[in-house]
Amino acid sequence: MKTHMTAKNIVLGVCGGIAAYKSVELLRLLKKQGASVRVIMTQNARAFVGPLTFEALSGQAVCTGLFEKGEDASIRHIDWAQASDAVVIAPATANIIGKLAGGIADDALSTFILAVISPVIICPSMNIHMYESKAVQRNLEILRADGYSILNPESGELACGTTGPGRLPEPEVIMDRLLYCLAPKDLIGKQVIVTAGPTQEPIDPVRFISNPSSGKMGYAIARAAAQRGGTVTLITGPTNLPDPTGVTMMRVRTAREMAKAVFDQIDESHIIIKTAAVSDFRPHKEASQKIKKEEDEMTLLLKKNPDILKEVGRRKKNDHILVGFAAETEDLGKNAGKKLAEKNLEIIVGNLVDHPQYGFGSDFNKVTFFYKDGTKEPLAPMEKDAVAHILLDRIVERYLEASNTL
């Protein structure tokens, strides 16, 4: 699986804070995405996590001091700084923030950072009063003005017993910021609408018709489009997923609510990607009270829902790029091709949804892109995040670059 993290040189700076354990998980995620990771630890960080843990997971020597013995330690920080594609400091303590704001270079990490020319993400994590202190806020302002990317801490219960901002964001959130720094910014200025998840069509106040869509595919596309600089609105049916970073969320329940939300936004949008698994039918009538099980059998009369994608295809203007998904259990090519033509799409992403490892609910998908010109492109099975970026690559290459609208 190739992502924008694959083969990238990432340097992970770890400072002395209770959240240092989370940087171990961050390192694992980075390695999983194919990055080469080097770790620099401050002296205090070693009180929380041992260098051996980072060494074993990264497969590379960990730098813990400017003048440690062995290798070419004294110039290592310059080599690493020049080779890095991005740097993340997590957790970043008040101490390192103060040093970087003041240009102080008195240990391996602070010296290294002064020599870095790639993007640097600083993830402050500390006690709420320390974080809100005038000195730390002033130093963060200086770092922002100097071009560092600051990932604000989350609010919550802190290790010191207080509650408020100061908690290191989860490793997945830090990864999102890193991917944002590394992804090409080829969707800047583009309004992107993505739909995701299932719809629920109520039968009565406690029952509904739905399907197993988890929203993962659509959320991955929204996240990837935001990482590439797009202005993204995610219109989603009910899911249990966290909001993707940097995306405007619109939550709906039924197909008709989703239709209204999409139609309201067509005119302002450039790219519409309809990943949602919309219920084709809804109960003819929603019972106002819970239906009692008095009979052995019951007939539910259904009514067709609006075909949102077809209507968008009918209304779209020449410069709109419209992408649909086709969830099939047989004849993928024939069925997807029919939907591509009927719904007036640029691309339809076909997936067979009768496989336990792909499609509904899984983190992976196995898809084929069918293009308007009759060509098709089958992809190997891969994570939905990777499918999302390849789909956006194709949209950019085939439609945005071709029409010079970038």
Q: Catalytic positions, please?
A: 160
Candidates 113-121, 162-170, 243-251, 272-280; binding stretch for ligand PMT (CB under 6 A): 272-280
- Residue from 94, 109, 136, 277 binding ligand PMT (CB under 6 A): 277
Rule CB under 6 A: say whether 327 interacts with ligand PMT.
yes
CB of 334 to ligand PMT, least distance (A): 13
Judge contact between 315 and 306, C-beta under 8 A.
Answer: no
With respect to ligand PMT, which residue has the nearer C-beta, 360 or 370?
A: 360
Rule CB under 6 A: say whether 274 interacts with ligand PMT.
yes
Q: What is the DSSP letter of 60?
A: S
Candidates 61-69, 135-143, 207-215, 314-322; binding stretch for ligand PMT (CB under 6 A): 207-215
CB of 406 to ligand PMT, least distance (A): 25
Candidates 61-69, 75-83, 173-181, 277-285; binding stretch for ligand PMT (CB under 6 A): 277-285
Rule CB under 6 A: say whether 278 interacts with ligand PMT.
yes
Compute how many other C-beta atoms are within 10 angstroms of the C-beta atom of residue 402: 10
Q: What is the DSSP letter of 398?
A: I
Rule CB under 6 A: say whether 200 interacts with ligand PMT.
no
Judge contact between 20 and 14, C-beta under 8 A.
Answer: yes
Rule CB under 6 A: say whether 307 interacts with ligand PMT.
yes
Judge contact between 127 and 116, C-beta under 8 A.
Answer: no
Rule CB under 6 A: say whether 217 interacts with ligand PMT.
yes
Nearest to 347 by CA among 367, 368, 371, 366: 371
Judge contact between 157 and 163, C-beta under 8 A.
Answer: yes
CB of 381 to ligand PMT, least distance (A): 13
Q: What is the DSSP letter of 270?
A: S
Q: DSSP characters for 129-195? A: HHHHSHHHHHHHHHHHHTTPEE-PPEEEE-TTS-EEEEEPPPHHHHHHHHHHHHS--TTTT-EEEEE
CB of 262 to ligand PMT, least distance (A): 8
With respect to ligand PMT, which residue has the nearer C-beta, 25 or 311?
A: 311
Measured distance CA(324)–CA(350) in Å, rounded: 9
Measured distance CA(217)–CA(211) in Å, rounded: 14
Task: Return the residues of window 359-378 that contact ligand PMT according to CB under 6 A.
Answer: 359-361
For 126, residues 6+ apart whose C-beta sits below 8 A from its C-beta are 17, 91, 93, 94, 136, 153, 166
**C-alpha 151: how far from chain center:** 15
- Residue from 5, 353, 382, 391 binding ligand PMT (CB under 6 A): 353
The site string for ligand PMT over 48-87 (x = CB under 6 A, - otherwise) reads ----------------------------------------
- Residue from 222, 324, 370, 385 binding ligand PMT (CB under 6 A): 324
CB of 216 to ligand PMT, least distance (A): 4
Judge contact between 213 and 360, C-beta under 8 A.
Answer: yes
With respect to ligand PMT, which residue has the nearer C-beta, 243 or 280?
A: 280
CB of 274 to ligand PMT, least distance (A): 4
Measured distance CA(101)–CA(99) in Å, rounded: 5
- Residue from 15, 100, 123, 276 binding ligand PMT (CB under 6 A): 276
Rule CB under 6 A: say whether 214 interacts with ligand PMT.
yes
Q: What is the DSSP letter of 47?
A: G
Interaction site with ligand PMT (CB under 6 A): 213-217, 255, 274-278, 280, 305, 307-309, 324-327, 339, 351, 353, 359-361
